[in-house]
Structure 1
Amino acid sequence: MAFISLSAAVLSGGKAERMSRQDKGLLLFQNEPMALSVGRALQQVSDCVFINANRNLEAYAKLGFEVVADDQGYQGKGPLSGLLTCLAFVQTTHLLISPCDTPRISAEAFEELKEAALSNPEKICYLSGVSGTHPLHAILPVEHGLAALKYFLDQGQRYSVLSFYEWFGCQSVVWENGEELLNVNTPDELV
């Protein structure tokens, strides 16, 4: 399998329980919706960027990206629901994903993932850093990833993103700039 083409998705479909159920991707971080900040960084490495969201679809569409909601048959399985929807939606060989609540992420971090995927196109490549693993910053092979994820979800054992990656075959990519991996989960972190 070769790395030929790349689509990118901003994952904004979570419940945001620690954020009083506010839609995190639409919350402002440094005067800009977080999903927009992430989407702009993704645009620097991919021609096709879209948002995966399950509520406030019109508000997300106003950010200038196509919006895709989770597949009804796989809802309730955490981030893997969104991942499955994104893999099924794209027409490229690979998919780059990033969560909406990491507004400091840079195109350089995505370039690092892209380089790793070019070297190992059959594996899932994800970021890790001093703060731990960041599996929702990843590049996945689309065709094999979609088939494997459907099988994994149908087994119904665990809905852990990292468990799926390890089962599929993955590679961690170290990103030294820990500030960029800030995950905004509480109102206090909206600076």
Structure 2
Amino acid sequence: MSGIAGVILAGGKATRMGGGDKGLRELGGTRLIDHVITRLAPQCDRLAINANGAPERFAEFALPVLPDSMPDHPGPLAGVLAGLDWAAAEGIDTIVTAAADTPFFPADLVARLRAAAGLEGLALAGSRDAEGKLWRHPTFGLWPVALRGDLRAALEGGLRKIVLWTDAHQAGLAEFPAQPFDPFFNVNRPEDLTEAAHLLEAL
């Protein structure tokens, strides 16, 4: 088997939301992670969730739950590595990641990332703010399984910042329009959930 798998990154501690699983908080009567699954599933051959702690809390989704393989919650790169290890075992050659707290990401995310992939098959998503500055969104990326050994070594060596690793591997950048709002808007704080509700109503 080959193809592409989607991995939803839900392994964070959600400290600015008071803890717990951000992805299980409701937005418009539907949980954030449901919004993410609805957007990502049509773009991939299969899905998995990267999350730490008791996997039973995600049982109803009937998706593989992948804990970090690195100790002490070293950040999103550990979730990427968990996804790559799972994909390798499943015979899948590429994964795409999406954050569990970002309910409006583009419906053409995967296609655009694949078109923008760099020489080693990596790509990140990006968008511009109101001042025109381009921001990368490193939890939204295309990751080849072939690089998982290199990523593991980098994490074991103390690397935590995603873009330092992706820059070293010449990752491409897929820029997405940020109008009428940034599709990578994410819910970090309670007030972000309120803003997301207003955005959902406007769609």
TM-score normalised by length of structure 2: 0.83
In structure 2, stretches of 5+ residues that fail to align are 130-134, 198-203
Tell me the residue number matched to 1:138.
141
Residue 121 (structure 1) shift: 6.2
Residue type at the aligned position of 2:111: E
Residue type matched to 2:155 in 1?
L
Once the 2 structures are TM-superposed, how far is the Cα of residue 57 of structure 1 from its aligned partner?
2.0
Aligned length: 183
Aligned residues of 1:27 and 1:34 also touching (Cα < 8 A): yes
Instruction: Give the 3-state SS of the residue equivalent to 1:7 in structure 2.
Output: strand
Partner of 2:163: 162
Quote the Cα distance in structure 2 between the aligned partners of 1:56 and 1:34.
19
RMSD over aligned CA atoms reads: 1.7
Tell me by how many angstroms 1:27 deviates: 0.8
The alpha-carbon distance between structure 1 residues 23 and 56, as it changes in their structure 2 partners (threshold 3 A), is farther
Contact persistence 1:70–1:82 (CA under 8 A): yes
1:139 corresponds to which letter in structure 2? L
| Deviations, residues 90-149 of structure 1 (Å, cap 9, x unaligned) | 1311110001010111322332113323xx462310111014110111101112x20110
Residue identity in the other structure for 1:11: L
- Corresponding letter in the other structure for 2:140: H
Moved more, 52-61 or 35-44: 52-61
Equivalent-residue separation in structure 1 for 2:191 and 2:61 (angstroms): 24
3-state DSSP class of the match of 2:43?
coil
CA distance in 2, matches of 1:81, 1:130: 27
Residue by residue, what CA displacement relative to the aligned partner does 1:19-47 show, whole Å, maximum 9, x if unpaired?
11121011112221111211221111111
* Secondary structure, counterpart of 1:44 in structure 2: helix
Answer whether contact 1:34 1:102 (CA < 8 A) is retained: yes
For 2:182 and 2:127, how far apart are their aligned partners in 1?
10
Match of 2:149 in 1: 147
Distance 2:164 2:7 in 1: 21
- Residue 129 of structure 1 contacts residue 175 of structure 1 at CA under 8 Å; is this kept in 2? yes
1:144-189 per-residue CA deviation (whole Å, 9 max, x = no partner) reads x201101111222x31011111122211110113431111101112
What are the equivalent positions in structure 2 for 1:1-191 lying under 5 Å apart?
5-71=3-69, 73-90=70-87, 91-117=91-117, 120=118, 122-131=120-129, 132-143=135-146, 145-156=147-158, 158-177=159-178, 178-190=181-193, 191=197
Counterpart CA distance in 2 for 1:11 and 1:141 is 16
Distance 2:92 2:40 in 1: 15
Q: Quick one: structure 1 residues 161 and 47, their matched pair in 2 at CA, closer, same or farther if it must change by over 3 Å?
A: same
**1:28 partner letter:** E
Larger Rg: 2
Query: Alignment partner of 2:6: what SS?
Result: strand
Gaps of 5+ in 1: none
**Cα deviation, residue 56, structure 1:** 4.7
Q: Aligned partners of 1:147 and 1:27: how far apart in 2?
A: 34
